[in-house]
């Protein structure tokens, strides 16, 4: 097995464990936070797999990470300004 294949398998297993853990620990139903958290996890796993496979450039991956962190930061900030 090459190092690239091992990296892909490791990212896949880590992402699958994160998604399984998400579904095991979430409450019933899909609200605002649950859906957003699921989408963040899914985007991170898919983009990480594509980047490690060489299908995404580093600039695109950086943009994905900035978008994910910005979305996650905006998700948990208060709308009232407190």
Provide φ and ψ at 62, rounded to 5°: -65, -40
In this predicted structure, what is the pLDDT of residue 62? 92
pLDDT at 79: 63
For 7, the domain range is: 3-75
Domain count of the fold of the chain: 1
- Answer whether residue 47 is part of any domain: yes
Instruction: Please check whether residue 37 lies inside any domain of the structure.
Output: yes
Q: What is the pTM of this model?
A: 0.77
- One pLDDT digit (tens) per residue for the chain, 82 residues: 788 888 889 989 999 999 898 888 877 877 777 788 888 888 899 999 898 888 889 899 899 889 888 887 777 775 655 5
In a domain, 69, yes or no: yes
pLDDT of residue 2: 87
- Supply the pLDDT for residue 77: 73
Cβ(65)–Cβ(72) under 8 Å? no
Answer yes or no: is 60 within a domain. yes
Torsion of Cα atoms, 75 then 76 then 77 then 78, to 10°: 100
């Amino acid at each position: 097995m090459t190092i690239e294949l091992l990296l892909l398998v490791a990212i896949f297993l880590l992402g699958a464990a994160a998604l399984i853990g998400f579904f095991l620990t979430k409450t019933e139903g899909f609200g605002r936070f649950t859906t957003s958290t699921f989408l963040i996890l899914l985007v991170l796993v898919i983009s990480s797999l594509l980047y490690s496979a060489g299908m995404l450039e580093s600039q695109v991956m950086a943009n994905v990470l900035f978008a994910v962190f910005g979305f996650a930061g905006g998700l948990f900030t208060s709308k009232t300004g407190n």
